[in-house]
Amino acid sequence: MQKKKRTMDKAVIRRSRNEDTEEIMAMLLEMDSSDYLQETWPDWMKDTEDIQMTALVGGRIAGCVHGRISAGQDAWAQGLRVRADFRRRGIATSLITDLEEELRRKGARTVFATISRFNQPSLATVAGLNWKIFFPIIRRRLKTGSRRLAFSPQQHVASHRPSPDLHAVQRIVRLSGVPASRRAAAFFKRVYFSMTEEFLREALVSGVVRANTSPAAVAVLDPEPTENKGLWVVALAGAVSGLLGLIGDLAAEAACKELDLVADSPDDPEIQAVLDDLGFVPPGTDEQFMVVEKDLLV
Ligand SMILES: CC(C)(COP(=O)(O)OP(=O)(O)OC[C@H]1O[C@@H](n2cnc3c(N)ncnc32)[C@H](O)[C@@H]1OP(=O)(O)O)[C@@H](O)C(=O)NCCC(=O)NCCS
């Protein structure tokens, strides 16, 4: 039997232009009226260091993606979108491939991104391009006034821990493989990049590193207050029994200040069980994601 002929035009991928913005906005609105990209895309287009790519099919915009250098030789990709009627034609694959090339040209060695654990199309697309899962994250939340607190706030607040030493912190954090991150306009609210000594030193100077020496464990907090002025643990590393004490202290601190505590935690059953026991609410589907990465020099 003769194979059905595909009549659609081939996609053209090129750097986005200002004149694309109106059609991209309309595409985003049609795909998802609450998409955060509707706010960020025009901002990205104003920044000459940012890279936006547009896919066109027969002169019509079919997809887009954004990338930038995020820290040193690390790059970041986000905002991949392909119009529903143009999917499964390799457009996302071409957009990412061309973005990778642009990032390489800007000196990037590694590119990172975050993808929901439940977004199979996106995970499959990057897997096809040899991206790897770098670190799965589960964002857990302990609400202010949680009745299930399984600890005594006074007891934890009263416990004083020695000031953490940079090299000890670095050793524990490196071993866990947890990435560094900072707040950003992104679906999962952070941009991830390689953990560096500089990142940890700055965190120590800002007073946002909490450490336990025996058993060794580290928690790094976001230096800025969150929208509800809660505490946000952005990296957790070390022995589970050590983490239990640290998270207990932070939960107590949050409770005393009547703040929520948010913890970006590793997908480790033991750590998840600790968070369950402390009364953290079960994670929603928008709170479970993968930090993925690709070595651009291989
Ligand atoms: C994710 C998305 C960008 C993929 O776009 P796309 O142009 O269809 O992707 P591609 O055609 O390049 O797909 C490449 C491969 O990924 C896999 N894949 C893509 N979509 C898939 C799906 N729905 N189901 C299973 N596998 C899928 C397939 O292996 C595919 O290759 P194949 O078609 O030869 O089998 C698109 O589905 C989309 O815009 N989704 C909504 C927005 C979104 O989730 N963005 C990503 C945020 S991280």
Nearest atom, ligand 1, residue 63 CA: 39
Nearest atom, ligand 1, residue 91 CA: 7
Nearest atom, ligand 1, residue 127 CA: 16
Say yes or no: CB of residue 142 within 6 Å of ligand 1. Answer: no
Structural domain contains residue 289: yes
Verify that 187 and 283 share a domain, yes or no: yes
How far is it, in rounded angstroms, from Cα 195 to Cα 152? 33
247 CA to centre of ligand 1 in angstroms: 38
Cis ω for the linkage preceding 225 (within 30 of 0) = no
* DSSP code of residue 225: -
Structural domain contains residue 193: yes
Verify that 188 and 286 share a domain, yes or no: yes
Which of 76, 96, 119, 122 has most ligand 1 atoms within 8 Å of CB, for mutation?
A: 122
Verify that 31 and 101 share a domain, yes or no: yes
The pLDDT score that the predictor gives to residue 3 is: 44
Asked if residues 24 and 61 have their Cβ atoms less than 8 Å apart, the reply is: yes
Structural domain contains residue 258: yes
Verify that 143 and 289 share a domain, yes or no: yes
236 CA to centre of ligand 1 in angstroms: 32
Domain of 144, in residue numbers: 137-293
* DSSP code of residue 85: G
The pLDDT score that the predictor gives to residue 224 is: 84
Verify that 60 and 158 share a domain, yes or no: no
Nearest to 77 by CA among 242, 292, 271, 232: 292
For 20, how many CA atoms within 13 A lie in the half-sphere containing its CB? 24
The pLDDT score that the predictor gives to residue 147 is: 46
Nearest CA to ligand 1 atom 33: 88
Structural domain contains residue 92: yes
Which of 37, 53, 88 has most ligand 1 atoms within 8 Å of CB, for mutation?
A: 88
pLDDT means over runs of 10, the chain (298 residues): 56 98 98 97 96 97 98 98 97 98 98 98 98 98 68 48 84 95 97 97 95 91 78 95 92 90 96 94 97 97
Strand, coil or helix: 20 = helix
pTM, entire model: 0.93
Nearest atom, ligand 1, residue 115 CA: 48
| Other Cβ atoms within 10 Å of 219 Cβ, number | 25
Verify that 287 and 156 share a domain, yes or no: yes
CATH number of the domain where residue 40 is located: 3.40.630.30
The pLDDT score that the predictor gives to residue 26 is: 98
The pLDDT score that the predictor gives to residue 217 is: 95
How far is it, in rounded angstroms, from Cα 220 to Cα 169? 10
Query: Which of 92, 108, 124 is a domain's end point?
Result: 108
Query: Which of 108, 128, 161 is a domain's end point?
Result: 108
Verify that 101 and 147 share a domain, yes or no: no
Verify that 147 and 102 share a domain, yes or no: no
136 CA to centre of ligand 1 in angstroms: 20
Domain count, the chain: 2
Give the CA distances from residue 168 to residues 174, 212, 216, 239, in Å, rounded to whole numbers and listed in that order.
10, 10, 9, 13
Verify that 67 and 160 share a domain, yes or no: no
Asked if residues 238 and 251 have their Cβ atoms less than 8 Å apart, the reply is: no
| Other Cβ atoms within 10 Å of 195 Cβ, number | 21
Verify that 70 and 214 share a domain, yes or no: no
Structural domain contains residue 278: yes
Give the CA distances from residue 114 to residues 20, 85, 86, 126, in Å, rounded to whole numbers and listed in that order.
25, 24, 23, 11
Which of 87, 111, 188 has most ligand 1 atoms within 8 Å of CB, for mutation?
A: 87
Say yes or no: CB of residue 89 within 6 Å of ligand 1. Answer: yes
Structural domain contains residue 122: no
Verify that 177 and 274 share a domain, yes or no: yes
114 CA to centre of ligand 1 in angstroms: 15
Structural domain contains residue 272: yes
Verify that 103 and 142 share a domain, yes or no: no
Structural domain contains residue 257: yes
Element holding 113 (H helix, E strand): strand 110-116
Secondary-structure percent of the chain, ordered helix, strand, coil, rounded to 5: 35, 30, 35
How far is it, in rounded angstroms, from Cα 60 to Cα 8? 12
How wide is the angle at C-alpha 269 spanned by C-alphas 267 and 273, nearest 5°? 115
Say yes or no: CB of residue 88 within 6 Å of ligand 1. Answer: yes
